[in-house]
Amino acid sequence: MNYYDKTLALFGLSLLAIAIMAKAYPPLALLAVFPILAWGEEVLVWVHTRVAPLEPVRVLYEEPGVKAAFDPRRGLYHVFWRAEPIHSVYGISAAPRLHEMYAKLSLRRGEWVTYFVWGDRKYIRYTARRLTPERLRQVELILKEYYVLDKAEPWLSSRKQPGRWPYLTALLFIPLALISSGWFLLAIPLWLFVYRRVRRWYRVPYLLLSLSHVSRASSLPASREMLEAMASAEAAAFGMMEKWAVAFTDMPPEAVHKKFVKVYEGRDTGKRLIRIRELSEFVERMARYNERPILLYPYGSKDLHSIYMTQDWIATYDFWTLRNGVRALSHDLSRFPMFYGGKLLAVGREVVLAYDRFGRPVSVDLDALPTVHGVVIGASGLGKSWTVGSWLGVLAEAGVDVVVVDPHGDYLKWAALYGAQVVEVPEELPSDMPEVLAKSMWFRRLAGEYGLDAGENAEAVKAVLERMASLAGYSPRFVDVGGRHVVFSVYKARKDAALQAFFYGVLLVYLLAKHIDERVERVRTVIVFDEARLISKRGVPGYSTLSSMLEEIVMGGRKYGLAIWFVLQLETQLEHDLLRSASVQLLFGGGEDVVKPLAHVLYLDDADAAYLLTTVTPREASLSGQPYAMAVMRIKPRNLKYHVKIPLDPRLKA
């Protein structure tokens, strides 16, 4: 039986007992004063929330270093932060870290911490009966080990008073007066006074800021096996809700032991044996996993039967008053995705690139990433090029210039859609290429690895380029390259892999040399190298030069306004340091022979590998409508991981 059921039961039984006694001695009806004063306010709040939600009055409280919402009726202070998780785990995998955070907080009597999600925003609320700057700083420092925090304005109550219709509930005392004693009529003014106090201390909240569902459980299932089986599913269910919250506070371990002893020494009944079984599982988990007993306060916007969460407008009232605690253990916090779905708090241009397993948008702040180079890894047929093309469309619409080095002609349709200039290499070459390469020591080193003398002037470089193009039967035309978007197609050199690799490497040197003259902090251009294995094969000409250049320039690409993406089939096709340091990693699935080595090199966990092994191809996905690709997406500098579905632009395959 939860808190509100107990309150209603105590109030009802008290009035019933008084009515029975008053029939023998009518003045005893005046004893109704005591249950009305004790529980009348809660009963009237419950009555009002059958129709509409309520919240307690909250006013602004300020003092040096502290800004909070203060509930004067209960003496509760609420401090708020915007929060983004640093870790990226959910389900039972998150249990050890959640327990660690809870243990470090060492919540005292009259302190609660609430994690709640409103749409795409996440918040943490610290609630205390006694608020001191020192304790607040201590709590904030501990939370910063697990979340990126940004102080938020206190959430104050609305100004709309509750309606007057609950005054009519005073008429219920008339039947009591008729059945038992006329003295019950004297309770009516007191009842009206109690509701007048409700109208003073409570407000009707805005529906957008209300919670509609609350758990009616008194305790969560104690079985460890059930927790391990259900935690991920329940976390996913909460993640799919538009609004949800969980508050928690400490419950002394002695309370569990005392309850266990009381039940153990009770009368030998079937109910007692069931309670002993439940409590013994609590005690076993506390001993085996070092869990601590806690009180949880779960709220949401949808039914969730595994924790008895149902629709009830009293959820909003309880969210602010924290009355209906559910007995649980610290690892039960893993039932809620408190460490999943984090993102960089946007300070620049934010673009949505995918949707996570809960259907929520995954966005990237282009101007907040540390290195801005990315890797896309996956076997053929899983939608790498289609995904990159769709992403480039998003970036182009966000004002970013796009350059693609395309060995297979996969981006020609994209070029037509977005008005990009297509340069057919080696038949066509940029007119400024000889001049740019003549100034680059990287090109001289690259040419040296091919046994070519590039000289130190534009004419010598031009002669080298013409000589190499002639091997494919072309006399290159030097054309002006302009506009925001350019696709360099190396498809015409496909018959000679070594020649294709040479011009691929030349384009890499040319593009990087051309774009590092300016030093800016905002990403202006994204350069995509599809099939980057062409410049990363050990033992072939150009490998040493291009690897050194990439490590030197790519790591600081953001300083030059560049974002560089490498598209690969295997994780072995690019230097390990470049893989690890990539700010965005998009990892596609395949068979076990592909996924397991990828998981080992890039430190993916079992849940990531399992997701990659269950991916479907974009062609299969398109059978049900919108085509999408499935992948694991990791965003730096924090280890933010998402199991994503990426909407694909069907025009690219039309």
Query: pLDDT (tens digit, 9 = 90+) per residue, 298-327?
Result: 999 999 998 999 999 999 999 999 999 998
**Torsion sign over Cα 390, 394, 395, 397:** positive
Query: By three-state DSSP, how is residue 77 classified?
Result: strand
> pLDDT value at position 644?
92
List pLDDT tens digits, range 477-531. Answer: 999 998 889 999 998 888 888 888 888 888 988 988 887 766 666 778 889 988 8
The pLDDT of residue 131 is above 50: yes
Average pLDDT over residues 209-233: 88
Query: By three-state DSSP, how is residue 422 classified?
Result: strand
Contact by Cβ (8 Å): 214, 317 = no
List pLDDT tens digits, range 19-34. Answer: 999 999 999 999 999 9
User: What 3 state SS string does 365-412 have?
Assistant: ECCCCCCCEEEEECCCCCCHHHHHHHHHHHHHHCCCEEEEEECCCCCH
> pLDDT value at position 279?
66
The pLDDT of residue 281 is above 50: yes
> pLDDT value at position 371?
56
Query: By three-state DSSP, how is residue 107 classified?
Result: coil
Q: Write out the two tokens for 119.
A: 């749409």
What residues does 423 pair with on adjacent strands?
488
The pLDDT of residue 557 is above 90: no
Q: Who wins on pLDDT, 56 or 281?
A: 56
Q: For residue 263, what pLDDT band results from cuts at 50, 70 and 90? A: very low
Q: For residue 258, what pLDDT band results from cuts at 50, 70 and 90? A: low
Domain parsing of the chain, residue ranges: 3-48+161-203, 55-159+206-251+292-335, 345-371+591-654, 400-569
Average pLDDT over residues 190-213: 94
Q: Identity (one letter) of the amino acid at 410?
A: D
Contacts of 254 (CB under 8 A, 6+ apart): none
Pairing of strands 293-300, 485-489: unpaired
The residue count of the chain comes to 654
CA–CA distance, 483 with 422 (Å, rounded to integer): 11
Q: Identity (one letter) of the amino acid at 421?
A: Q
What residues does 430 pair with on adjacent strands?
479
Query: By three-state DSSP, how is residue 361 classified?
Result: strand
